[in-house]
Amino acid sequence: MGSVFTTVALPVALAIVMLGLGLGLSRADFERVLRHPKVTIVALACQILVLPAICFVLILAFGLPPILAVGMMLLAAAPGGTSANLFSHLFRGDVALNISLTAVNSVLALITLPVLVNLSIGYFGAGTAEVGTQAKTAVDVFVIVLLPVIVGMLLRSRRPAWADRMERPVRIASFAILVVVLLAAIATNWNLLAQEFGRLSVITVLFCLLSLTVGFAVPRLFGAPRRQAIATSFEIGIHNATLAIVVAQTVLGSTELSLPAAVYGVLMLPLAFAFGTLIRDRSVVRPGVV
């Protein structure tokens, strides 16, 4: 039963999530990035360089066991999740920029995720298989990350009206899938979670809050308008926990590696909501809205 869940159910679940992302994307979303080069470069630098460094320091400070340390670094390497777009819309961020950054980050993850996780495995000595950069592993990551996105984009380009109708139902299904995947990962690793919950909960809360703060404050320091900074905050601060869990269990073959992402996925939602209330763009006043 567990094997079926890992080899079939998890990849299918992620495919639905990434398909939903693709249904909301078009070529214009990638082109839009070129119109905001400064904020794009700053956001990507935070995502690819700053966050892994922060995560690494937290791991050392809390003395996580090797398997959980690599799991945390895998989470840090995961691009923004589809929930980032929802939070950006909710708190009046630049949703178009947010979607564009999500698209670019998903493409870059094909390279950055295997490299960062391999370095982490080498440093912490977790004793698990590497996510190699060789052709087979690159194909694995491409299939579970990018292929569903490409399919969704093709459907949007050829059947835009249908894609518009399906985007909301797929988004709702994606959220339900996220909840199921998180609960399954927690249930599978319940003994380890009970042993390490204290450290894992604190480190994931700190990592989430620091990620959100970096994503908002650094672009603002470089002159990004508030709405763009809100978008980058959620793009950088909300990682794709579902993707991290699927990579941990299907590519790396380790349920223990998925535990940090599962704990993060549960705690991230209320933290992101609370953070959003602090940074919300209050310059846009709507009738009946305080």
Q: Residue 104: pLDDT band by 50, 70, 90 thresholds?
A: confident
Does residue 185 form part of some domain?
A: yes
* Residue 219, both tokens: 């672009």
Between 73 and 25, residue with greater pLDDT: 73
Q: Which domain holds residue 252?
A: 2-279
Does residue 290 form part of some domain?
A: no
Does residue 285 form part of some domain?
A: no
Count: domains in the chain: 1
User: Is residue 227 a contact partner of residue 94, using CB atoms and an 8 Å limit?
Assistant: yes
Q: Residue 127: pLDDT band by 50, 70, 90 thresholds?
A: low
* Residue 250, both tokens: 């299907």
Q: Residue 106: pLDDT band by 50, 70, 90 thresholds?
A: confident
Between 10 and 208, residue with greater pLDDT: 208
Q: Residue 290: pLDDT band by 50, 70, 90 thresholds?
A: very low
Does residue 242 form part of some domain?
A: yes
Alpha-carbon distance of 18 to 107, in angstroms, equals 12
Q: Residue 1: pLDDT band by 50, 70, 90 thresholds?
A: very low
Does residue 140 form part of some domain?
A: yes
Report CA-CA distances (Å) from 185 to 2, 44, 76, 92, 214.
Answer: 11, 29, 18, 32, 28
Q: Could you tell me the CATH number of the domain that includes residue 175?
A: 1.20.1530.20
Flag whether the pTM goes above 0.75: yes
Between 3 and 36, residue with greater pLDDT: 36
| pLDDT at residue 140, rounded to an integer | 64
Q: Residue 288: pLDDT band by 50, 70, 90 thresholds?
A: very low
Q: Residue 280: pLDDT band by 50, 70, 90 thresholds?
A: confident
Alpha-carbon distance of 74 to 52, in angstroms, equals 9
